Amino acid sequence: MSDTPASVRRRFDELVPWYVTGEIAADDRAWMERYLAENPDAEVALGWHEGLGATVDAHYSNLPESVGWAGLAQRLEADRAAKRSTAEVAPTSTRERALPVSPGIIERATQWLGELFTRPAYALAAALIVGQAAVIGYLVSNDELAQPEHSTTRGAPASIVPALEVRFRQSATEQELRALLSQAGARIVDGPDQLGDYVVVPRSATLDELRDALKQSDLVTSLRPFEWKPSNKDEVKPR
């Protein structure tokens, strides 16, 4: 099909903004230069776009240069403070371990304990305290054994939890996402990352049920298995 003057002009109109900014493929640039050479009146349109580009650029260049830096500086400072406090704990404890304990203190403690156990009333009270501590310790450990689902949240090394990485339709609203995840029995544990992907885990469904439910939704554009590593602060109750 041969090009009509209208379709040629349309191509020029489509390409001219990128010709002005230089973000154009080499063959399109060559075509534009030929067109401009053959159609001097097109220079007017080119000039208009150059003016528009300069104005749009000036329009945004008036924005404050330091925008966002105050927030970043605050976060850097918070990060540094967190690192400092971590660093300070370790050397202190090392130093404490390295320093010899004053013999005076040991002597005084031994003497005090010796005196304590020479008095029957104090000895009985001390025995009671030790006994109560043992009973409490036993009950606590039994309680933990009876509720293994909490063990992942109590400082144990984080294990891998089967999850799904989901990408939602760009136009999906927060309400729609919440409704879908609630219906499917899932919750978001991470995301969105820079690609817009969320990590979700089953809450009241199995992983297979969750996958099936999400697959059927037109809000979901991609879905894949994901091995999620929760940090200790994440609460997970795997089914």
Residue 172: CB minimum distance to other proteins, A: 8
By beta-carbon proximity to other proteins, the closer residue of 24 and 205 is 24
By beta-carbon proximity to other proteins, the closer residue of 199 and 207 is 199
CA distance 23 to 140: 67
Q: Tell the burial category of 82 from Cβ atoms under 10 Å away from its Cβ (0-12, 13-18, 19+).
A: exposed
CB 17 within 8 A of CB 50: no
Of positions 85, 118, 171, 231, contacts other proteins by CB under 8 A: 171
Of positions 64, 91, 100, 120, contacts other proteins by CB under 8 A: 64
By beta-carbon proximity to other proteins, the closer residue of 183 and 221 is 221
CA distance 200 to 65: 38
Residue 115: CB minimum distance to other proteins, A: 56
58 binds other proteins (CB under 8 A): yes
The angle at the Cα of 123, spanning 120 to 104, to the nearest 5 degrees, equals: 115
**Piece in contact with other proteins (CB under 8 A), picked from 20-28, 90-98, 132-140, 211-219:** 20-28
The angle at the Cα of 129, spanning 126 to 135, to the nearest 5 degrees, equals: 145
Residue 31: CB minimum distance to other proteins, A: 15
71 binds other proteins (CB under 8 A): yes
**Residue 202: cis peptide before it, omega within 30 degrees of 0:** no
Q: With contacts defined by CB under 8 A, how many residues of the chain interact with other proteins?
A: 43
Residue 43: CB minimum distance to other proteins, A: 13
Which residue, among 182, 188, 173, has the nearest Cα to 213 in the 3D structure? Answer: 182
6 binds other proteins (CB under 8 A): no
According to DSSP H, which parts of 185-219 are helical?
207-215
Residue ranges in contact with other proteins by CB under 8 A:
13-14, 17-18, 20-24, 48, 51-53, 55-69, 71-72, 75-76, 170-171, 173-175, 177, 192-196
